[in-house]
Amino acid sequence: MGLNNLLVQRKTAIIKNWFTLAVETYPPDTASFLKRQKDPFANPVGRTISLGLEALFNELLKEMDHEIITSFLDPIIRIRAIQNFSPAQAVNFIFLLKKAIRENIKKEALEEQLFNELLLFESKIDKLALIAFNIYVQCKEKIYDLKANEMRNTTYKAFKRAGLVREMPVDEPDIKT
């Protein structure tokens, strides 16, 4: 049996384990809530992570379409960027998939000599992490742009209220024909 078949057979357990490992990157109280609360309206972050991880795993079993992967990674990474995770913390959950897989197929992988296939699959996970890192950087750049624009607008409004800013009159062009 090949690695892909084994991963498909164990998919539910692997994704569940990956989800648990991913939410444990949050503070204990938050992790407990994310694991416990199943209502998608009461726990949109947990729902986003859960759906995203399942979709990412399914895509890893295929050919890894960059656009599809980005569409599933983006919401998870956006959440982590807003929550002030460091870059390493933000993408760490990707690498936790390796641990989830190893824990779920350890015995079979050793028995069936799937080590080379596992290394190839783990290189796909590494590529996924690089995509996640790029998304994280783009999100942080957007956050910094928004903060800079907000600060500029706030400062401008304060100066205008204080009378320190005045509008420059626009000179009409002198058109003589």
Specify the pLDDT at position 153: 87
Q: What is the pLDDT of residue 174?
A: 65
The predicted pLDDT at position 116 comes to 85
User: Given this model, what pLDDT does residue 52 score?
Assistant: 96
The pTM (predicted TM-score) of the whole model is 0.81
What CA–CA distance (Å, rounded) separates 90 from 176? 64
pLDDT at residue number 106:
84
Q: If the chain, 177 residues long, is cut into consecutive pieces of 10 residues, what is the mean pLDDT of each piece?
A: 90 97 94 89 93 96 93 95 92 97 85 82 96 95 90 86 76 66
Q: In this structure, how many other beta carbons lie within 10 angstroms of the beta carbon of residue 124?
A: 16
- Nearest Cα neighbor of 91 from 62, 51, 59, 56 is 56
